[in-house]
Amino acid sequence: MSATHDATHDEAPIAARVRHVEALLEQRGWLAPGEVDERIDALAAGGSPANGAAIVARAWVDPGFRARLLADANTAIGELGLSMAGGLQEQQLIVVANGPDEHHVVVCTLCSCYPIALLGPSPGWYKSEAYRSRVVREPRAVLREFGLELPASTRITVWDASAESRYMVLPRRPAGTDDLDEGRLAALVTRKGLIGTAAV
C-alpha cells in the first residue's frame, strides 16, 4: 500500500464526519445549504498581506491610531475598512508591537490559526510541525534561520494563536523613512514582518 493511499484512507473518515455534521446543521435550519462554503470564500476573499501592511503604515504615521490598535485592534482596523468577521464568528485580533528591546513572533502550536483576512493564506512553513514546535522552544535559533539575528539583550515573546484569537506583529518603523508616505511605508512591510520572523 502506498503512502498516498494510506493518507487518503486515514483522512476519509474525518471528511465524512465533517460532511455529516454540516448536513445535520442544514437539516435543523442552523445553516443554509452551501453557507459553509460561502463563509469560507468570504473569509479568503480580499485577504492579503497588503491589508496588514496598510495597518502597520497607518500606525507608523498616526500615533492615535497606533494607540487604538494596541488597545482594541478589532475596532481600530474598522477605520481602514477591514474586519476579522469573515468566518462563522468574529475572531479577536491582538496586535503586539516590537520595541527597541523586545521582539514578538506568532505561532499556532495546535494547527495553523492565522489572520487570513489581514495576511492572506498562511505560508507553508507557518503550518509545518517544525516551525510550530521549535519556535516556542528556541525562538532565537528559529529567527536566525529566517535571517533575523537579534541582539542577545532583546527579549523575544512568542504568541500562540487559537481558534478565538489571532495575533499580528506591529514591526518597528525602519530608520530613515521619515519622508515616506503611507503607501511607500506599506510597501516596506512583509508578511514575515507581520508574523515576526523578519524585522519588517
Instruction: List the catalytic residues.
Output: 108, 111-113
Distance CA 169, CA 192 (A): 9
Distance CA 90, CA 164 (A): 8
Distance CA 91, CA 162 (A): 9
Helical H segments across the chain, by residue range: 3-27, 35-44, 49-61, 63-71, 73-78, 116-119, 124-127, 129-137, 139-145, 182-186, 191-195
- What's the DSSP call for residue 82? -
Distance CA 168, CA 53 (A): 11
- Residue 95: which of 64, 44, 56, 150 has the closest Cα? 56
Place of cell 497607518: 58
Q: Distances in Å between the alpha carbon of 52 and those of 9, 148, 171?
A: 38, 20, 11
- Cα first-last separation, the chain: 46
